[in-house]
Amino acid sequence: MSYGYDEFESKLGQFIYTMVMYERLKEYLIDKVRGRGRVSVRINLGQDKSGNHIFMDVILTSVKPEAYGPVQQTVKQKTRKSLVVVLSNDEISGDNKQIADEMEKLIMESLRWWHSYFGERDRLKLNEWKIERITTVDADSTEVLCEIPADRIIVPPERRMSLNPETLENLAQYIDLLGPVAVRPTDTGYYELITGYPQLYIYVDKLGRDRVFARILEVGEEEARLIHEDTQPRIKKLIELIAEGISRS
């Protein structure tokens, strides 16, 4: 079983070389401006096709901390982050559990190694991450199911449903039968609702939850519209069946 270690080592070597050169350049520039207010540095970038020399002029300025005014310390509220990564490989075969176990071990070892390499510069706190679950499945595509903040979900007007208050009140106790909502990520960091308006309404307005389980689909606007049109009749039918069952009981 091969995971492309040769290519990984090559990329790792390039990365380390780049980081070392960056640190050396930073030390050189800091040394240049030390004890001076402002220094101009000209860097020769080589020649263009016409033989002209290309230079980059950089101005280095030393600014005292008080020039920025008093430093206001703000307490940032910690928010739990969940990183979702879906990997696929068309060339590998074998036992799914064994593959998942080996990948989990490899990922954790890599995170610890990078944390030790970056040290105090590790702003991602790589040693603090833990794998909640990792699974290998045989599928052409994978949907991501996550718990996301309800206030990050945008509901387009055409995807709202008109439901009477009594029906919504009764559906609250059968919310699990309706399944999770489906959303698609937007460029603004929000999620656009595709299906599941009744569930979203019940979770937020009836149950008072600020987070909901959602299927995150990487689809375009047209595909999202088709999914909504395909599932809407089934959701309405399911709601009718649940309401009918409640009325009989």
CATH number of the domain at 164, please.
3.90.1530.10
Span 46-57, average pLDDT: 81
Domain edge (last residue) among 47, 63, 79: 63
Separation in Å, CA 82 to CA 52, 129, 147: 51, 9, 9
Domain membership of residue 72 (yes or no) is no
**Tokens coding 33:** 């401006």
Domain membership of residue 208 (yes or no) is yes
Domain membership of residue 170 (yes or no) is yes
Are residues 43 and 56 in contact, defined by beta-carbon separation less than 8 angstroms? yes
Domain edge (last residue) among 48, 63, 78: 63
57 and 148 both lie in a single domain: no
Q: How many domains, the chain?
A: 2
Are residues 217 and 184 in contact, defined by beta-carbon separation less than 8 angstroms? yes
Nearest to 161 by CA among 89, 232, 107, 97: 232
Span 42-46, average pLDDT: 77
**Which has the higher per-residue pLDDT, 73 or 246?**
246
Q: How confident is the model at residue 208 (pLDDT cuts 50, 70, 90)?
A: confident
Residue reference for tokens 């402002």: 38
Give the per-residue pLDDT at 249.
57
Are residues 199 and 233 in contact, defined by beta-carbon separation less than 8 angstroms? no
Domain membership of residue 100 (yes or no) is no
Average pLDDT score over the chain: 78
User: Domain residues for 12?
Assistant: 5-63
* pLDDT per position as a tens digit, 59-111: 777 666 554 445 454 555 566 777 777 788 888 888 888 988 999 999 999 99
Domain membership of residue 91 (yes or no) is no
Domain membership of residue 138 (yes or no) is no
Domain membership of residue 133 (yes or no) is no
Which has the minimum average pLDDT: 124-128, 142-146, 236-240? 142-146
Domain edge (last residue) among 28, 48, 63: 63
Domain membership of residue 117 (yes or no) is no
Look at phi and psi of residue 213 and say left if phi exceeds 0, alpha if psi is from -120 to 50, else beta.
Answer: beta
* pLDDT per position as a tens digit, 170-207: 777 777 777 888 998 888 888 999 988 888 888 888 78
Total number of residues shown for the chain:
249
**Which has the higher per-residue pLDDT, 126 or 24?**
126
Give the per-residue pLDDT at 13.
67
Q: Does the pLDDT at position 44 exceed 90?
A: no
* pLDDT per position as a tens digit, 129-180: 988 778 776 766 566 778 888 889 999 888 888 777 777 777 777 777 778 8
